Amino acid sequence: MSRNDDLPASLPGLIMTRARWEGCTNFIGGSWQRAASGQTLPMINPADGQVIDTISRSSSGEISRAIKAARSALDDGEWSRLHPVDRGRLLMRISEMIRAHTDRLAALEAGDTGKPLSQATHDITATARYFEFYGGGVDKLGGETIPYLNDHDVRTRREPHGVTGHIIPWNYPAQIYARTLAPALAMGNAVVLKPAEEACLVTLALTELAREAGLPPGSLNLVTGTGEDAGAALAAHPGLDFLSFTGSPTTGTRIQSAAARNHIDCTLELGGKSPQIVFADADLERAIPLILNGIIQNSGQTCSAGSRLLVQDEIAPEVLARLQHAFERCVAGPPDLDPDLGPLISARQCERVNGYLSACNDDHVVARGTIHPEASDAGFFVPPTLLSGLEPSDPLMQDEVFGPVLSCMRFADEADAVRLANGTDYGLVAGVWTCDGARQTRIANALECGQVFLNCFGAGGGVELPFGGVGKSGHGREKGLEALRQFSRLKTIVQWTG
């Protein structure tokens, strides 16, 4: 089954030159393999609809082999014998190699997802930063001693879960790969990752870089395929000790049900309908570009996109006029032109976003951007769109559209703003724009979500910042040192000292 002999020395080199490699895209127990069935899936360039590569369409057999490889890495492999500081150094080495290959990885990510080249480059920089941050974090998180009875000594110990399963989406393949794998590896777990079938070439290149960096066999395994097949098999596998998922609420429910059947814990990051709340005293010079960026970044296909604009009555006309101007100047185009935004990921995602827009009365449309004349008609482009005058119950104010669509409503006062902001099933992030310091604190405390930005908006924010949702946005915290807690379990040791 191993096809290492047939492959050139550097798989990233192969992938990046887009040479044919016959769907040999599973990395199991330290070697590249293809699915036993021989079936493949096409990878499509969203900017022109053309097939750029193929990946293995794997199923439960490949998943079982990957979990077995991970288990043996933990039981008696080289991985189980590494000191924490050596694990950290390995992650740092991966980070350095990612940095050294930034341009090629960014080109690969841009071709696969359609995102503008500068955005893809930023994503690769963040990807390297994850491995650096968690490489440095490996030896920083200890247990504690607990005062108890005089003749007993109590300490806690952080241990890896064991074999962790990771299912990631297509919107930020490189970043989310690093966000979920780096802390899991840092804590000494052995991982099995199933990337998204819509965009995953960069995850293969990153995995090959990790192999070249010296990550021991079985510590990191990757299996490509569809969600319904390989994804469901991974989530349901009884050999898993923990699951980490980023994607839709519908799939999140399936993941959590599968985890429950195996009595394991999971983290779910399921997106949002995050509000940007603009008060009459806001610094609009600062706010407007960041509000625009918060919805056009990655064409709105960002879990933490600021997709709901809540504006205080008295400045609504001015805010809408400024945003109208900004939206009308935005151009969607192919990645190599480095436009304001790229295409959506797929024809399906395009239909979903256009479905929301066509169900909405034209009277609500305040502004639309344009599509670059050089953009292919076969690409999945949707111009950025600003809507206003919607009701709180409108699907455009409630649902995660996952496109470059900003829906606006007005509010009267602070209480009204908080009520509207908290008035969806989601709760991931929020932006608050006001110069009143006491109000900033009141609102930040009242918002039901995982991250609040005061006079700034990070759309996900830095690697250092704990991140995660409430309600339909999911549960658990990733990023920051919190992720090291999520990817480990606590043992309490009580010793009688006589």
Q: Active-site residue numbers? A: 269, 303
Query: Which residues, listed in sequence order, are joined to residue 274 by a DSSP beta bridge?
Result: 306
**CB-wise, 138 or 184, nearer to ligand NAI?**
184
The Cα 172–Cα 379 span in angstroms is: 19
Across 279-437, the runs of DSSP E, i.e. the strands, are 306-312, 331-332, 365-368, 370-371, 385-387, 405-411, 429-433
> Which of 109, 132, 197, 478: binder of ligand NAI (CB under 6 A)?
197
Across 209-335, the runs of DSSP E, i.e. the strands, are 220-222, 242-246, 265-269, 274-278, 306-312, 331-332
**CB-wise, 93 or 254, nearer to ligand NAI?**
254
The residue length of the chain stands at: 498
**CB-wise, 410 or 477, nearer to ligand NAI?**
477
Residue 451 makes contact with ligand NAI by CB under 6 A = no
The Cα 315–Cα 482 span in angstroms is: 39
The least CB distance from residue 454 to ligand NAI, in Å, is 23
> Which of 77, 137, 218, 247: binder of ligand NAI (CB under 6 A)?
247
> Which of 270, 296, 366, 417: binder of ligand NAI (CB under 6 A)?
270
**CB-wise, 190 or 232, nearer to ligand NAI?**
232
Residue 438, number of CB atoms within 10 A of its CB: 8
What is the rounded end-to-end Cα distance, in angstroms, of the chain?
58
The Cα 303–Cα 251 span in angstroms is: 15
Residue 44 makes contact with ligand NAI by CB under 6 A = no
> Pick from 406, 403, 456: which is nearest to 429 by CA?
456
Degrees (nearest 5) of the Cα angle 400, 380, 41? 95
Residue 166 makes contact with ligand NAI by CB under 6 A = no
- For residues 259 and 266, the answer to whether their CB atoms sit within 8 Å is yes
CA torsion, ordered 393, 398, 404, 408, to nearest 10 deg: 40
> Which of 44, 110, 196, 332: binder of ligand NAI (CB under 6 A)?
196
**CB-wise, 33 or 267, nearer to ligand NAI?**
267
- For residues 494 and 152, the answer to whether their CB atoms sit within 8 Å is yes
Residue 231 makes contact with ligand NAI by CB under 6 A = yes
> Which of 228, 336, 374, 436: binder of ligand NAI (CB under 6 A)?
228
> Which of 111, 188, 227, 450: binder of ligand NAI (CB under 6 A)?
227
Residue 469 makes contact with ligand NAI by CB under 6 A = no
**CB-wise, 346 or 488, nearer to ligand NAI?**
346
> Pick from 175, 276, 165: which is nearest to 230 by CA?
165
The Cα 21–Cα 34 span in angstroms is: 10
Residue 171 makes contact with ligand NAI by CB under 6 A = yes
Site for ligand NAI (CB under 6 A): how many residues? 25
Residue 300 makes contact with ligand NAI by CB under 6 A = no
Stretch in the footprint of ligand NAI (CB under 6 A) among 194-202, 331-339, 356-364, 418-426: 194-202
Q: Report the run of H or E that residue 251 belongs to, with start and end.
A: helix 249-261
Residue 271 makes contact with ligand NAI by CB under 6 A = yes
> Which of 44, 66, 67, 167: binder of ligand NAI (CB under 6 A)?
167
Stretch in the footprint of ligand NAI (CB under 6 A) among 54-62, 90-98, 103-111, 168-176: 168-176
> Which of 102, 248, 376, 440: binder of ligand NAI (CB under 6 A)?
248
Stretch in the footprint of ligand NAI (CB under 6 A) among 72-80, 130-138, 228-236, 321-329: 228-236
Residue 464 makes contact with ligand NAI by CB under 6 A = no
The least CB distance from residue 196 to ligand NAI, in Å, is 4
Instruction: Phi first, then psi: give them for residue 398, nearest 5 degrees.
Output: -115, -35
Query: Which residues, listed in sequence order, are joined to residue 166 by a DSSP beta bridge?
Result: 193, 244
In the bound state, the residue with its beta carbon closest to ligand NAI is 227
- For residues 173 and 203, the answer to whether their CB atoms sit within 8 Å is yes
Distances (CA, A) of 238 to 229, 233, 242, 479: 16, 10, 10, 27
Residue 269 makes contact with ligand NAI by CB under 6 A = yes
Residue 254 makes contact with ligand NAI by CB under 6 A = yes
User: Reduced to 3 states, what is the DSSP secondary structure of residue 194?
Assistant: strand
The burial of 422, by beta-carbon neighbours within 10 Å (0-12 exposed, 13-18 middle, 19 or more buried), is given as middle
Binding mask 349-368 for ligand NAI (x = CB under 6 A): ---x----------------
Stretch in the footprint of ligand NAI (CB under 6 A) among 204-212, 220-228, 306-314, 480-488: 220-228
Residue 476 makes contact with ligand NAI by CB under 6 A = no
The least CB distance from residue 296 to ligand NAI, in Å, is 16
Residue 262 makes contact with ligand NAI by CB under 6 A = no
Catalog residues that contact ligand NAI under the rule CB under 6 A: 167-169, 171, 194, 196-197, 226-228, 231-232, 235, 246-248, 251, 254, 269-271, 303, 352, 400, 402
